[in-house]
Each structure stands twice: as C-alpha cells, then as structure tokens.
Amino acid sequence: MKKLLVTLAVLIFGATCANAEFLGGFIYNGMTTPGGGYTTAAATKQGTATCKNVLFIVSVGDCSVRTAMKNGGIRTLAGYDVKRENIIGFQTITVKAWGN
C-alpha cells in the first residue's frame, strides 16, 4: 500500500510539473516566457493584462492577449510575452503585448 501511494504521488507531481503554468517553484518564481507573434515591425504601442491566482485554488482576472491589446490600443500585434510571478502560492500572471 505504501508503494502504491508513493507511486501515485510521483505520478501526480510529474503530471503537474509537465504543465508550463506550474514550472518554477512554489516558494518563489519570477519567470518571463515568450508568447508568440513576433515580427520585425517596429512596435509603437504596448498594453498589459493581469490575472491573479491564490494557492492554485482561486483565480481572478483576464490575462488574455486580446485584453492586453485592448488596454494598449493595439490593432496589429507584433508580439507578446507572459510573466509569471509566484510568492508562496500567490501567483500573478501578466501578459505584455506590443504592436501598432
């Protein structure tokens, strides 16, 4: 029974770590990852969108690329990045988009 519980714990931990949302660390994580849509065009506008998560239980906010574009008045997306900051289970995700 003990071996079964240990095996299940390892599988659950491995499945959780495979998701990029949870990479980093539970105590502290200050990671910026590339989003997409990168072009060589010069970007003149920038917008951000933020959402928050408490202990991976409750999440609030809208951190979509579309909201970041709307907040920055962007019509043509040149690119975006996603910043995840986690301090002891209190996570903030910020999407920064830029374009024209």
The whole-number mean pLDDT for each consecutive block of 10 residues of the chain, a chain of 100 residues, reads: 71 50 68 76 88 87 92 90 89 92
Residue 94, domain member (yes or no): yes
Classify residue 50 by its DSSP letter.
Answer: E
Phi, psi of 4 (to 5 degrees): -65, -45
Instruction: Provide the residue range defining the domain that includes 54.
Output: 25-99
Contact assessment for residue 77 and residue 59, using Cβ atoms and an 8 Å cutoff: no
Residue 18, domain member (yes or no): no
Q: Which of 43, 40, 37 is nearest to 81 (CA)?
A: 37
Query: Which 3 state secondary structure label does DSSP give 87?
Result: strand
- pLDDT at residue 24, rounded to an integer: 63
- pLDDT at residue 11, rounded to an integer: 55
Cα 10 versus chain centre, distance:
24
| Spatial separation of the C-alpha atoms in residues 35 and 53, rounded to whole Å | 20
- pLDDT at residue 38, rounded to an integer: 73
| Matching residue, tokens 């409750």 | 58
- pLDDT at residue 8, rounded to an integer: 63
| Spatial separation of the C-alpha atoms in residues 89 and 6, rounded to whole Å | 24
- pLDDT at residue 83, rounded to an integer: 92
Q: pTM for this structure?
A: 0.69
Residue 32, domain member (yes or no): yes
Query: Which 3 state secondary structure label does DSSP give 51?
Result: strand
Residue 36, domain member (yes or no): yes
Residue 61, domain member (yes or no): yes
Residue 92, domain member (yes or no): yes
Residue 5, domain member (yes or no): no
